[in-house]
Amino acid sequence: MSSHGSPCVLLTRPGDLNTGLANLLSRRGVPTLIRPLLEIHELIDVTHNALLMKLDEFDRVIFVSRHAAQFGMTLLDRFWPQWPLIGWYAVGNATSAVLQEYGVIATCPERESSEGLLALPDLEQVDGEKILIVRGRGGRDYLATQLRLKGASVVYLEVYERIGVQYGPALGRDMERAHVNTAVLTSAAMVEQFSDSLTDGELAKLCIVVPSERVAEVARKAGCLNLYEARGTGDEALLQAVITALGATRS
């Protein structure tokens, strides 16, 4: 936001999810400011138990985020000393790595998104199948909707919720002091939370890195003008988009 000093990148993911990208940028001499826009809280719901015990009745189980895998596998591990022979899917490499910690090898798409999952050959023919989607409360319904259109029966297991962090005008002041000119926003919820804390003028000056066209569209409607789309939410994909954005600001 400032024209003075070395350009800084704002990282906004919850908890420790900013560490990987921050380290990659640090190796390239790019400073970062970390301000998580969402907090993640586990959902405790005893009614989940009946669903967890019926895991073997599903043909496939899909984990749509790293937090879904972390909280979901912790729950499932209590009921299943040996995993049932079903199809396991992860939205991306970080999510897949969590499943591997539990001895599960999951299929994941090259592009880390619901669209990427739906493009997998395994999920093209699912008519008559029963699919469990492990996710956060109030998540995107696109994946379930498309699977149902293909004839599948889809059930949600919601294992966490997202709570917005309220920075108010302090966020803009912190960004000004740090010379932030690029922000990484990896979900529509983050875009909405971010835009609520900044003025239209502040948003318009920033380069915004997003993981998909869907999030980019939300950002456009919020008043973000300089958008750079990464090929998913992985650290390497985001890094390349950030480098492109920083190059544009220096040219």
Domain boundaries, the chain: 61-162
The per-residue pLDDT for range 42-54, each reduced to its tens digit, is: 998 888 899 999 9
Q: What is the phi/psi pair of residue 3, to 5°?
A: -90, 0
Helix (H) or strand (E) holding 79: none
Q: Determine the 3-state secondary structure of 247 from DSSP.
A: helix
Range 176-205 average pLDDT: 93
Look at residues 38, 27, 32 and name the one whose alpha carbon lies nearest to residue 175: 32
Domain 61-162 is of which CATH architecture? 3-Layer(aba) Sandwich (3.40)
Residue type for position 93? N
Instruction: Please list, in sequence order, all residues whose beta carbon lies within 8 angstroms of the beta carbon of residue 18, skipping any fewer than 6 positions away.
Output: 11, 12, 32, 34, 36
Range 1-16 average pLDDT: 80
Which strands make up the sheet holding 180-184, listed edge to edge? 32-34, 8-11, 180-184, 207-210, 226-229
The per-residue pLDDT for range 61-74, each reduced to its tens digit, is: 999 999 999 999 99
